């Protein structure tokens, strides 16, 4: 079988090492789509993914229009993975019951019947104001009740305290409890753990190892929490947390028991202490032990000190297998050590040390069996590439005496680098899975001399779309997806992984547009993340082949963040607005650029990006509209500018000034045109929705949308195919709040009336980007928080 190496390109791998500090924390490229709650800054990147550039796709495959009656259903636009899965948690006794947690895209449950993953964090509890709870720090299961799931959430420690979600139906529905400490599902070290554990003997008792405030416990099934002050009462200060990259704190909890359901709390418990918290709290060891159910704790002398303990597992015979590694991860660098520990004695089983050209660490570990024939699967981290002698997953069948490599150079799909969690299926010792920067891979024949590996990512969609564009009816493609980390893609089949892209590798696609009368012409901008180099690109054949712009517009090289916009007027002509920059136009396909007369955008706060929203009139390409949102809620009032010469020069719309558009961030605002009528413009300023029928000369504020309950009133607007017989020429979709309820709303009568289009079960952690289909009425495309692209039927 032909090998397929996800991180095959040496240059990409080398750049990733640099971006991760030799296997330390996450990269630096932004990868979260703008949120309706308008975060202060774009969150750090998802891990690098470099899908291969494939030959041109077949003609577009757009699933048929749904019947006019019945509830709206939702499906994922297939990409396949696209983001970092941070942990896998098997139920210990129920076969095929497996959960996956991600850093920005929520959690999933494995569906054995469909051999795919089911998202379990799309509905109630994960709305527009709750997007940060799509960062999953830890998942815990009750060995006595396979319906019960606990999930500790919070994306970044600086955002405030986290939540504990509790489900009694395997994640179909949730309740939640506010936790008294912050979590960091997308902070460095996010694959460590599990931090959250249920006592198998007395499952109403839980422990949680926090990043910043020590160890916590609950004795009422997670409803209330108390700090375990007998270990340490210390809570890290904001400065200490920042210096520690979000804090590692108490990295995991492990019970020393082989029983369950006895009704008596497990007495012997171990916990691992990160160097940062040990230093702040004055703790003398990186491991502590309690022999009285957590009432008191004593230090455990470890064979190495000052290391992280990302994983510690117990075999059936009571032997512990403990990973030590120097860096935090993802993809932690070394030195790394694996020891076995019988409660008193440590035995070294595996070592990796920095060598010329490599800096391997150790990540995930899983065991099956007991005694001298214990099977151990061990993840080697920061080990990029696929070559003879490479280490990705090491396997031992004799309790660590001998090792062999079971993934590198083996048949199938090899995924190196961020092997931060490895799991042996408790129901099938030959089934071994591990996480990586683009999802999950598995082998089902681990005992073979040449195990075969394949991705197991069906249903997991974790790309972060930054910009989205849909072409006119009849175009040979369905949409253009500009996304963080994976770049820009042209989709021709919603049910298949796209193949058409500019070939930039690990990159962010910031914005793209097409010529409406000639949609084979596409232009876009982005950034190559490995070098932080801005890129402009175009295709003249609908994405089958691509070329780079010969030059870049002013500001593009210095401003590569996602607050960017592109408006294509006709083939070879476009207006481009890089973040924080005056837009420029080209009339020769990027060979040269001229600045427009739009005013510069002043900074509203250090590190805060802004930009112009651009839109070309689809009926009259000489008209281009530019919207300055004001940059922030404390910025200047929003303004619209209008060009009648193809975007070369602009005039301020006094009507937009008179309308008193509210100031807001770029990511909480949008501008859209009705492609079926000249001069018909819609604008969402975050608080309200506005409509102009005279090319922006005058504006009408629609009263339906108003902020409520922390959600902004109107953040996104898109126009698609009209309903048959509708009196207005387009269906209008708005993300906002009507009658105090946040959601997606549709109007078929030009805004005279509105009906909610989504429901509570489909909130996706908020919606950051939206576009509407011109071929099928009722079809829109939205990006959830770290949930890839989702479309309606």
Enumerate the β-bridge partners of residue 61: 493
Q: What is the residue-wise DSSP string for 335-392?
A: -EEEEEE-SS-EEEEEEE--BTTB--EEEEEEEES-GGG-EEEEEEES--S--TT--S
Token pair, residue 142, equals 């009750």
Burial 315-327 (b: 16+ CB within 10 A, else e): beeebbbbbbbbb
Q: How many CA atoms lie within 13 A of 147 on its CB side?
A: 5
Q: What is the residue-wise DSSP string for 44-89?
A: PPPPP--PPP-PPPPSPB-PPPPPSSS---EEEEP--B-S-EEEEE
DSSP 493: B
Cα-based distances in Å from 274 to 271, 305, 326, 500: 10, 10, 10, 44
* Helical residues (DSSP H) of 195-326, grouped into ranges: 238-243, 275-281
Rg (the chain; Cα; Å): 26
DSSP 177: E
Place of tokens 């009139």: 617
The C-alpha atoms of residue 78 and residue 491 are separated, in whole angstroms, by 9
Whether omega for the bond prior to residue 194 falls within 30 degrees of 0, making it cis, is yes
| Cβ pair 653, 639 in contact under 8 A | yes
| Cβ pair 732, 680 in contact under 8 A | no
Token pair, residue 154, equals 């919070």
Active site residues: 103, 485
Cα-based distances in Å from 94 to 159, 171, 425, 428, 652: 36, 16, 11, 12, 65
Whether omega for the bond prior to residue 70 falls within 30 degrees of 0, making it cis, is no
Place of tokens 């490995």: 530
Token pair, residue 230, equals 């007998």
The C-alpha atoms of residue 329 and residue 311 are separated, in whole angstroms, by 12
The C-alpha atoms of residue 201 and residue 348 are separated, in whole angstroms, by 31
DSSP 13: H
Burial of 564 from C-beta contacts in 10 A (0-12 / 13-18 / 19+): buried
The C-alpha atoms of residue 195 and residue 121 are separated, in whole angstroms, by 20
The C-alpha atoms of residue 275 and residue 288 are separated, in whole angstroms, by 13
| Cβ pair 98, 86 in contact under 8 A | no
């Amino acid at each position: 079988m032909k090998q397929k190496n996800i991180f095959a390109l040496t240059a990409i791998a080398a750049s990733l090492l640099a971006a991760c500090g030799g296997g330390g924390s996450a990269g630096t490229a932004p990868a979260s789509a703008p949120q309706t709650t308008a975060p202060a800054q774009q969150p750090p990147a998802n891990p690098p993914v470099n899908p291969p550039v494939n030959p041109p796709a077949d003609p577009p495959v757009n699933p048929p229009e749904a019947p006019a009656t019945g509830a709206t259903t939702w499906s994922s636009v297939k990409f396949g993975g696209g983001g970092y899965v941070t942990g896998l948690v098997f139920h210990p006794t129920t076969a095929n019951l497996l959960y996956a947690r991600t850093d920005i895209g929520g959690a999933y449950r494995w569906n054995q019947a469909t051999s795919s993953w089911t998202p379990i964090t799309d509905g109630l509890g994960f709305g527009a104001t709750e997007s940060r709870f799509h960062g999953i720090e830890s998942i815990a299961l009750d060995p006595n009740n396979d319906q019960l799931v606990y999930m500790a959430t919070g994306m970044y420690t600086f955002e405030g305290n986290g939540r504990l979600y509790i489900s009694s139906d395997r994640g179909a529905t949730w309740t939640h409890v506010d936790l008294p400490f912050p979590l960091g599902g997308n902070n460095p070290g996010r694959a460590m753990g599990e931090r959250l554990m249920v006592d198998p003997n007395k499952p109403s008792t839980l422990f949680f190892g926090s990043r910043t405030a020590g160890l916590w416990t609950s004795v009422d099934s997670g409803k209330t929490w108390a700090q375990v002050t007998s270990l340490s009462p210390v809570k890290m200060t904001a400065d200490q947390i920042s210096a520690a990259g979000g804090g590692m704190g108490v990295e995991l909890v492990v019970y020393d028991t082989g029983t369950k359901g006895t009704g008596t709390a497990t007495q012997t418990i171990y916990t691992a202490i990160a160097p940062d918290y040990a230093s702040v709290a004055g703790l003398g060891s990186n491991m502590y032990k309690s022999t009285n159910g957590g009432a008191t704790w004593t230090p455990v002398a470890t064979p190495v000190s000052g290391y992280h303990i990302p994983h510690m597992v117990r075999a059936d015979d009571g032997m512990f297998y403990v990973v030590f590694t120097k860096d935090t991860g993802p993809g932690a660098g070394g030195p790394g050590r694996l020891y076995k520990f019988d409660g008193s004695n440590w035995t070294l089983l595996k070592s990796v040390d920095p060598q010329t050209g490599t800096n391997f660490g150790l990540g995930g570990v899983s065991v099956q069996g007991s005694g001298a024939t214990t099977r151990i699967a061990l993840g080697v981290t920061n080990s990029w590439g696929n070559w003879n002698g490479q280490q990705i997953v090491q396997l031992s069948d004799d309790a660590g005496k001998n090792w062999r490599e079971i993934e590198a150079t083996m048949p199938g799909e090899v995924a190196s680098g961020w092997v931060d969690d490895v799991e042996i299926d408790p129901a099938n010792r030959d089934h071994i899975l591990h996480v990586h920067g683009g999802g999950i891979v598995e082998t089902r024949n681990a005992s073979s001399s040449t195990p075969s590996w394949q991705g197991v990512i069906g249903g997991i969609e974790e790309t972060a779309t930054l910009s989205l564009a849909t072409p006119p009816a009849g175009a040979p493609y369905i949409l253009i997806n500009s996304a963080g980390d994976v770049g820009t893609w042209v989709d021709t089949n919603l049910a298949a992984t796209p193949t058409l892209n500019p070939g930039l590798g690990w990159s962010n696609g910031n914005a793209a547009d097409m010529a409406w009368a000639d949609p084979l012409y596409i232009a876009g901008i982005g950034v190559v993340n490995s070098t932080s180099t801005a890129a402009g690109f175009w295709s003249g054949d609908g994405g089958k082949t691509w070329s780079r712009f010969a030059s870049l517009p002013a500001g593009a090289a210095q401003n590569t963040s996602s607050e960017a916009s592109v408006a294509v007027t006709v083939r070879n002509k476009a207006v481009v607005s890089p973040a924080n920059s005056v837009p420029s136009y080209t009339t020769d396909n990027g060979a040269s650029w001229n600045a427009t007369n739009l005013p510069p955008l002043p900074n509203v706060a250090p590190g805060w990006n802004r930009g112009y929203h651009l839109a070309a009139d689809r009926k009259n390409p000489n008209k281009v509209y530019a919207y300055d949102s004001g940059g922030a809620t404390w910025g200047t009032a929003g303004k619209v500018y209008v060009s009648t010469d193809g975007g070369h020069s602009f005039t301020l719309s006094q009507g937009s000034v008179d309308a008193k558009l509210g100031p807001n961030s770029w990511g909480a605002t949008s501008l859209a045109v009705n492609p079926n009528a000249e001069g018909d413009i819609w604008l969402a300023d975050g608080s309200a929705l506005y409509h102009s029928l005279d090319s922006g000369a005058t504006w009408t504020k629609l009263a339906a949308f108003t902020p409520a309950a922390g959600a902004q009133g109107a953040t996104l607007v898109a126009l698609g195919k009209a309903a048959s017989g509708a009196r207005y020429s387009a269906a209008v979709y708005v993300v906002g709040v009507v009658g105090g309820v946040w959601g997606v709303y549709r109007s078929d009568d030009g805004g005279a009336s509105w009906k909610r289009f989504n429901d509570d079960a489909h909130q996706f952690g908020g919606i950051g980007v939206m576009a509407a289909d011109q071929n099928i009425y009722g079809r829109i495309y939205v990006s959830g928080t770290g949930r890839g692209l989702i479309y309606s039927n």
